[in-house]
Structure 1
Amino acid sequence: MTAAQIARQQQTFSNDSLSRLYHSTVPVPLGVEDRYVIFADLHMGDGGKADDFLINAGMFAQVLQEHYLAAGYSLILNGDVEELQRFPLAAIRTQWSGIYRIFNRFNRAGRFFKLVGNHDMSIVNARLGGYRVGQALRLSYNGDNIFIFHGHQVSRWFMQHNRFVGLTLKYIATPLRIKNYEVSHNSRKRFNTERLVYDFSSRERLLSIIGHTHRPLFESMSKVDSLKFELEQLCRTYPQAGADERSRIETQIARYRGELLDLQQKRAPNRDHTSSLYNEHLVVPCLFNSGCVLGKRGITALEIANGRIRLVYWFDRERSSKYLDDLSVTSQQLGTSDYYRAVMQQDRLDYVLSRIRLLT
């Protein structure tokens, strides 16, 4: 079988899988005043050295309780919440009982949605702690649709051979303390997942929010894409700017260029995937990814609130103060803690959805 034939089979499987999932998911109305936060890929374990969740568990609990619960947000956990391919559910629930108590508080308020990923697929449709674990969520906003699902559903391998992957992780990766890198650290698999979801979403004229790849995306753009866009906008502004403004723009351009070069050097072995994912002259802003809770310096999430959608980054200033020194990013401290929330990207939801309709 040729590479082209394999690609066509993969595309057909992805389209059929996502279409069935989308049409079988009952829409939930989303109002302008509603508030949602979306986290994905917690990979909660047993608290041992192989537990990827351990590094940010304290921050995650405090952010949920003191910010999102207190502010009336609904919580969406978009897959790979528990690392069931490595650890028993009972051990996870015992270790992170405090986190589950926070989940239960959201649930008692009617503001909790839990979806499965490929690492916790075994509990799909189960009722745990009084809430149902589903495969997807659809939000209906002024006639448009927001489709939230983990992202593994585009892959025939994960849908049909997930048990084999789990056995490999449990009996080989976990004893050797190898982390969860099967898609998130493979640029080709990550690119392929995002491309398949992008194709489906642009064709169906809907906004899709995934996890799975651990890479934050906003309006179908990665950090590399976003930096290139910002550099272009700054260069356009520069000729008309005054002396003080030019100095500020020059500083911003130097910083963005440095970040871009660092990212490109890190990805040098996979240079084909450092440019725009979609290789299109006009990118449809239909694909978002909330990133993950496993970052070395912090946590990313997506917020939908008051008619806007935001990509936010929660970080510990003891591990990184980068965004405290960045004048282009507003950071908000969580109480008197060392945790801060930075808004990385944001836009009006109606503007994003209208662009999806008009550009497809």
Structure 2
Amino acid sequence: MFTDKRLTEAYDKAKTLYFDDYSRFVFMSDAHRGDGSVSDEFLRNRNLFMHAINEYYENNYTFIEVGDGEELLEYSNLNHIKNAHADIYEGIKKLYDEGRYIRIYGNHDIYLDNPKFIEKYLHTNYDEYTEEYFDFLKGIEPLEAVVLRHRKTSQELFVLHGHQGDAPNDQFWFFTMVSLKFFWRFLHRFGIRNPTSPVKNVSKRHRIERNYSKWILKHRRALLCGHTHRFKFPKNNDVPYFNTGCGIYPASITAIELTEGMIRLVRWKEKVDEQGVLHIKRETMRGPEPIESFDIRKPKEVIEYLAKLKIQRTKKERETRAAFREEEI
């Protein structure tokens, strides 16, 4: 009941963004960027993350970071995190300056709900080489949630971090912060993880996901979140619950892409070719599926019909573009 209430409150206050079949969005969460020390779990995937956001920038995506971008419960001084991962924040600034970076806060970066904290750490940054302050993410307003609404069909995709209703990470977050900052942070250096976290506690993670599903069925809205670190893409008529996964898997990061009216789950990982050269490769794990396939407001037959039309139209458009390129050559 409490999860339903918290999700509904977030939905009612969410900012609405409109999309259509020409929009490009990518959703990533749970990077948990730290201060570059041994306990910083983001370090191992920093290059993967940097490559991914550069590719999304070059291909005109809007990047929605769905919470826990920074590990502020363990490292409360955001300046230390920005200095440790300066190249990452340069990439984020490029996206933000073009209006293509939207920030949602989660339980590990809950400080972003405080305007004074945002003004202190995000509005300006310090260049250690020139010893000058410069505008960074000036005017940014991190959000608890957003609703993506299709311009023509009014179909909605509700996006938030997903900690809402998870008591230790929601209403009792302060006590969780104290335990992380003064206890679990040091055990991380030896590979020991907090057993109360949904990341490692399977029964808790499944309970949270069941609560998500109940909300989806009750309110008939697709939901996309992070928090559990378990990527999810619905299949076989499952409820439309999507999860971005996280940025701290052992050798990969995952994301959800919404482009050309199609949604898919992707993974960025390191690959070694036959010559022993290391590459970063993006691979599709699930999808692409027409976003209409997950509009549970409509009867199943209508959803299937609209999805079939979308696949046919997308295939025809791609063939037309390919033929046009051949003519140019």
Pair in the same fold by TM > 0.5? yes
**Gap change, CA 1:347 and 1:317, over 3 Å in 2:** closer
Cα distance in 2 between the residues matched to 1:167 and 1:122: 14
* CA contact 1:27–1:140 (8 Å) conserved in 2: yes
Stretches of structure 1 lacking an aligned partner (at least 5 in a row): 1-11, 222-228, 230-282, 325-335
**Gap change, CA 1:201 and 1:15, over 3 Å in 2:** same
1:307 to 217, 241, 261: 261
Per-residue deviation, 1:206: 1.0
**Gap change, CA 1:77 and 1:113, over 3 Å in 2:** same
1:239 maps to what in 2? Answer: none
* CA contact 2:105–2:144 (8 Å) conserved in 1: yes
Cα distance in 2 between the residues matched to 1:309 and 1:350: 6
Cα distance in 2 between the residues matched to 1:355 and 1:344: 23
Per-residue deviation, 1:156: 2.9
2:317 maps to what in 1? Answer: none
Whether 2:201 is the aligned partner of 1:186: answer yes
Per-residue deviation, 1:180: 6.0
Corresponding letter in the other structure for 2:244: S
Whether 2:54 is the aligned partner of 1:73: answer no
Cα distance in 2 between the residues matched to 1:337 and 1:93: 27
Whether 2:283 is the aligned partner of 1:295: answer no
2:162 to 142, 151, 155: 151
Per-residue deviation, 1:125: 5.2
Identity of aligned residues (%): 28
Larger helix fraction of residues: 1
1:200 to 215, 221, 230: 215
Whether 2:299 is the aligned partner of 1:358: answer yes
Corresponding letter in the other structure for 1:133: P
**Gap change, CA 1:189 and 1:200, over 3 Å in 2:** same
Deviations 1:137-178 (A, max 9, x none): 110012111001011002233221101101101111112224
Deviations 1:6-43 (A, max 9, x none): xxxxxx11111111110111311111101001111001
Per-residue deviation, 1:89: 1.4
2:146 to 102, 121, 137: 137
1:275 maps to what in 2? Answer: none
Corresponding letter in the other structure for 2:249: G
Per-residue deviation, 1:284: 3.6
Normalization by structure 1: what TM-score? 0.72
Per-residue deviation, 1:210: 0.8
1:120 maps to what in 2? Answer: 109
Cα distance in 1 between the residues matched to 2:58 and 2:290: 23
1:91 maps to what in 2? Answer: 80
1:197-346 pair list within 5 angstroms: 197-219=212-234, 283-318=237-272, 338-346=279-287
Corresponding letter in the other structure for 1:311: L
Cα distance in 2 between the residues matched to 1:23 and 1:349: 26
* More deviation, 341-350/205-214: 341-350
1:327 maps to what in 2? Answer: none
2:176 maps to what in 1? Answer: 165
Per-residue deviation, 1:111: 0.7
- For these two proteins, the number of residue pairs brought into alignment is 272
Per-residue deviation, 1:317: 1.0
1:332 maps to what in 2? Answer: none
Whether 2:7 is the aligned partner of 1:52: answer no
Stretches of structure 2 lacking an aligned partner (at least 5 in a row): 123-136, 304-329
Cα distance in 2 between the residues matched to 1:94 and 1:49: 15
